Amino acid sequence: MQKKLIEVKNLKKYFPTNKGMLHAVDGVNFYINEGETLGLVGESGCGKSTTGRVVLRLLEATAGEIIYDGKDILKVDKRRMRELRRDMQIVFQDPYASLNPRMSVSQIIAEPLTVNKVFKNKNELDARVKELMDTVGLTQRLVNTYPHELDGGRRQRIGIARALALKPRFIVQDEPVSALDVSIQAQILNLMSDLQKEFSLTYLFISHDLSVVKHVSNRIAVMYLGKIVELSEYGTMFKNPIHPYTQALLSAIPVPRLHSTNEKIILEGDVPSPINPPEGCRFYGRCMYRQDICNQKTPELKDIGEKRYVACHFAENLKPAKK
């Protein structure tokens, strides 16, 4: 059962800019087991979406390895990659920008099937499109409508149907519910968990919303400025966050409950620039526990037991964090 479907090793993605090298993703390691959901959380600009795109080779990695189903996909040629893409799909954040406004619902969902010449005749294609619409809960009557006629939730269902069209095994969910109202968001989250069970899908679920990530993920990776600072199973992370950034992040969430017990840790300042970051811990400037060493040596993501990984020089000291 616990087979690794995808493993990312020391993945880097740098973008050259006028001011210097922008380290969007800087040495990221993780794996996702088959049928599992790995949540990737972090604030804007931390590199989570870039990671999602690099994993699918929608952006070319600067360095590192991406082992998908036993093969390093960074080494395969374009043609082979095109075949692999059937297996690896993505659902985008903005259901308004990710659907072509000049294509009807059926055309959008059929596009991956026609591009890959899956069906020889039109009837089979139409039948598959209808089947997909049923799967994601879109009524048949919408088959000839255009995206602008539909609300955000229905549009996101189209995006999901399109991603499912080629029967993938792995889907990158890039903030799929961020643009939706809570009641619609809940519908889409339930749909995605049903689909995962039905088709044994593996998800990389990217989001800035921790309560959503907690709800969907088996394990969670927290990113800060291009690096993973903590990776744990969802339960342990939420009960007992170790990295100071994770602690602050979790405490900052407004909880819809009276007299919430959590003491807020208010971080000072903003996320620093990812351009030519200095040696040392990226979180140094905002950390409440910082020491001299933190400014000199970059902490590596270390195994600290209980299937937990933390990138902090003082992870062992912070481990029994009282909460």
Residues 106-165 that bind another protein (CB under 8 A): 151-154
Maximum distance among all alpha carbons in the chain? 68
97 makes contact with another protein (CB under 8 A): no
Q: What angle do CA 108, 87, 308 make, to 5 degrees?
A: 120
- Of 32, 167, 156, 188, the C-alpha closest to 88 is 167
Binding residue (CB under 8 A) for another protein from 119, 238, 275, 284:
238
- Of 65, 5, 9, 70, the C-alpha closest to 35 is 5
Q: What track of x and - describes contact with another protein for positions 202 through 221 (by CB under 8 A)? A: ------x-xxx-xx------
3-class DSSP assignment, residue 4: strand
Secondary structure element (H or E) that encloses residue 143, with its range = none
Task: Find out whether 174 and 92 touch, Cβ atoms under 8 Å.
Answer: yes
Binding residue (CB under 8 A) for another protein from 70, 183, 279, 320:
183
Binding residue (CB under 8 A) for another protein from 235, 278, 288, 316:
235
Q: How many CB atoms lie within 10 A of CB 323?
A: 12
Site size with another protein, rule: CB under 8 A: 41
Choices 16-24, 186-194, 225-233, 315-323; region in contact with another protein by CB under 8 A:
186-194
Task: Find out whether 63 and 10 touch, Cβ atoms under 8 Å.
Answer: yes
291 makes contact with another protein (CB under 8 A): no
Binding residue (CB under 8 A) for another protein from 185, 202, 240, 246:
185
253 makes contact with another protein (CB under 8 A): yes
The residue (of 70 and 254) whose beta carbon lies closer to another protein is: 254
The residue (of 78 and 257) whose beta carbon lies closer to another protein is: 257
Give Cα separations from 240 to 7, 125, 248, 251 (angstroms).
26, 50, 12, 11
Point out which residues bind another protein (CB under 8 A): 43-44, 151-154, 181-187, 189-190, 193, 208, 210-212, 214-215, 235, 238, 248-258, 260, 264, 266-267, 270-271
